[in-house]
Chain A
Amino acid sequence: MKLLIRCAALLYPRAWRARYGAELEALTEDVDAGWREFVDICKGAIKMQILKGGAWRFAAACGVAGVIVAGVIALRAPNQYSSMAVLRMAPGDWDERVDRLNQAEQDILSRKSLAGMIQKHDLYPEERKRLPLEDIVQDMRNRHVQIRMLNAPKTNAPARAFTISFESDDPGKALDVTKELTGRFIAAMKDTAPLELLDPANRPLYASRPNRLVMLTVGLVLGLLTGMVLVGIRRWPLVPLAGLGLAILALPATYLIPDVYRSIAVLRSKTADPGQAARQVVSDRAYLQSLILQFGLYPKEPNAVEQMQRSLNVREVGAGNRKFCSVQFDYSDRYKAQGVLKEIVARIGTEVLDPPSLPEQAFTPNRLAIVTTALLAGLLAGTVALAVRRHRTPVLVG
C-alpha cells in the first residue's frame, strides 16, 4: 500500500510535488494510509493536474489510464473462435433456391433446433445457470451463428455460394457446431436444391475476437479525449456551458416537431414489375382522395392529395432488381400509416413478401441527432466567444 500511495503521489504536477510532496508523504505515514487515502490522493492529483499541470501532459496521463482500463477489459474478455464452412447451391431457379434456403434456415435456426444443439454440445454452460434458455437461443441465433451469401468476384452478382459459421470460446465446439449446421443444411436441401460442400468446417487455430490491439487503441483515444475535455471544462467553462445550454434548449424544441412514423411493405412478382404496378396505384389521385376520406388523413391540409403523394415512396429493392419493390408511407399516426399501406398493398395486388409494418418508433425527428448538433454548435459558439473575449482590446476610460 505504501508503494501504491507513493505512485499516486507521483501523479501530482512536478512543481506541486517539489513544494508539498514531502509533507504529503509524511502525512500518509502518520495516518497509516489505506485504500480510502489512495483514492483521495488520486482525486487530489487529478484536480491539481487540471488546475496547475500542463494540459497535454494531463491528457497524456488520461490516455495512459485509458490504455490501462482497456487492457484490463481486453485481458478479461474471453477469446472467441470462429469455424466456417462454404457451400454452393446447384444451378437452377435462383429465386426458388433462395426461398428453399430461407425455409431451411428458419427450421435449422428455430428455437427447438438450437436448444437441442446447445444441450448436445454443452454450449454456454455458465449462461445456462443464470439466463433463460430462450435468451441464450436468441443470442446464439443473432450473434454466434452467421449465414452469409457470397457474391461472385468482379460481377458482384450472387454466386450461389454461402458460408455457415459459428463462434464459440471453445475451438472444438466451434468446429462441431459448424459441422452439424452444415450437415443439417445439406440434408434439408438434398431433395430440392442439392448443396455442394466447397470448403468443410475448419478447427480454428487463432481467436477471431477480441481484437485486443483495437481495444487498446480505443482506450488510448478515449482517454486522451476525456483528458482534453476535463481540462477544457475546468479552464474554459464558457465553452461547455454554451454547448450544454444550447442542447438543453434544443431538446424541448424537438417536441414541437411532430413525430412521423414510416410503415414499409416489400412486394414481389415473378412475372410483372411490382414497382410499376405500385406507382400506378400511388399516382391515382381519385384513389388517394378516397383513402384520405376513409382514414381522416391531413385534416387541416388544403392540398391533402399532394401531401399524401409526397409521403408515399416506391423503390426497387436490390440493385436494379425489377422483381422486388418496397412501398412506404409516412404519417403522424403509426396505426393509420400501417392501415393506409395495407389498403394500398391490397390494391396493387402482387405477392406480399413483407407485409406493412407497424412502426414502433418515429423515424423523424431524430432527437438525438438534433440535440447532438445543438451541443456541438454550442461548443463551437462558446469557443468563438472565448476567443473573441480574449482578443478584445480593453477600452481606456478617463
Chain B
Amino acid sequence: MSDPTLLVLASLADGDKHGYAMMEDIQKFANVRLGPGTLYGAITRLEERGWIRPTGARDRRQPYTITGAGREYLEAQVASLDQVLKTAQRRLKQA
C-alpha cells in the first residue's frame, strides 16, 4: 500500500502528529518515504474532505488529528484491503 492519504490516516490513527513525525512513522511501518510535497498534498486533500483537522495551537510544526469521518473511511479501506489480501492468500495456497 503506497497511497499517501491512507498512509497518513493510518499514521494519525495512532495519535496526533505533525508533518515530520508522520513521515518518520510512515517510514517505520510501511517502509515508504513520502516527500514533503507528496505529504502536504495528502494533508490538503484529507483536510478538505474533513478526515483530518489541525489540533492544538497554530504552529509551524502543526500537529493533525484524525476525525471520526476519517476513522470510518480508514476502517472501510482497511476492510477492503483485508478482503483482497485474504482472497490472494487463499488463491496462492490453492495454486
Contact = CB atoms under 8 A, between A and B. Distances in A.
State the main secondary structure of chain A at its contact with B.
helix
Given A23-B19, A23-B60, A30-B20, A40 B36 contact: yes
Contacts of A28: 36
Given A23-B61, A36-B35, A44 B19 contact: no
Contacts of B41: 44, 47-48
Interface string B38-62: 1111011000000000000000111
Contacts of B18: 23
Contact of A37 (B35, B43, B61, B62): B35
A31 B37 contact: no
Contacts of B23: 27, 31
Nearest to B37: A44
A293 interface: no
Contact of B38 (A26, A30, A44): A44
Interface residues of A, number: 23
Contacts of A16: 44
B58 to A, nearest CB: 9
Given A44-B40, A47-B41, A48-B44, A23 B35 contact: no
Residue from A30, A39, A41, A45 whose CB has the most chain B CB atoms within 10 Å = A30
B35 to A, nearest CB: 3
A368 B43 CA distance: 44
A33 interface: yes
Contacts of A14: none
B37 A25 contact: no
Interface in A27-78: 27-28, 30-31, 33, 36-37, 39-45, 47-48
Interface string A5-30: 00000000000100010111111101
A22 B60 contact: yes
Contacts of B19: 23-24, 26-27, 30
Contact of A25 (B35, B38, B44, B60): B60
A81 B31 CA distance: 56
Contacts of B43: 20
A26 B44 contact: no
Contacts of A24: 19, 36-37, 40
B61 A26 contact: yes
Residue from B18, B19, B35, B61 whose CB has the most chain A CB atoms within 10 Å = B35
B20 A31 contact: yes
Given A23-B19, A48-B44, A41 B60 contact: no
Given A23-B19, A23-B62, A45 B36 contact: no
Contacts of B44: 16, 20, 48
Contacts of A41: 35-37
Given A23-B19, A48-B41, A48-B44, A31 B36 contact: yes
A22 B36 CA distance: 12
A214 to B, nearest CB: 35
A122 B76 CA distance: 73
Interface in B1-56: 18-20, 23, 35-41, 43-44
A26 B60 CA distance: 6
Given A20-B43, A20-B44, A27 B20 contact: yes
Contacts of B37: 24, 37, 40-45
A40 B62 CA distance: 20
Contacts of B62: 23
Contacts of A43: 37-38
Given A26-B19, A31-B20, A31-B23, A20 B60 contact: no
B61 A40 contact: no
A145 to B, nearest CB: 51
24 contacts: A20-B40, A20-B44, A23-B19, A23-B40, A23-B60, A23-B62, A24-B19, A24-B37, A24-B40, A27-B23, A27-B39, A27-B61, A30-B19, A31-B20, A31-B23, A37-B36, A39-B35, A40-B36, A40-B37, A41-B35, A42-B37, A44-B38, A44-B40, A45-B37
Given A24-B19, A40-B37, 5 more contacts: A16-B44, A26-B20, A37-B35, A44-B35, A44-B38
Interface of B: 18-20, 23, 35-41, 43-44, 60-62
Interface of A: 16, 20, 22-28, 30-31, 33, 36-37, 39-45, 47-48
- Top 3 closest pairs, chain A to chain B, by CB: A44-B37, A40-B35, A26-B60
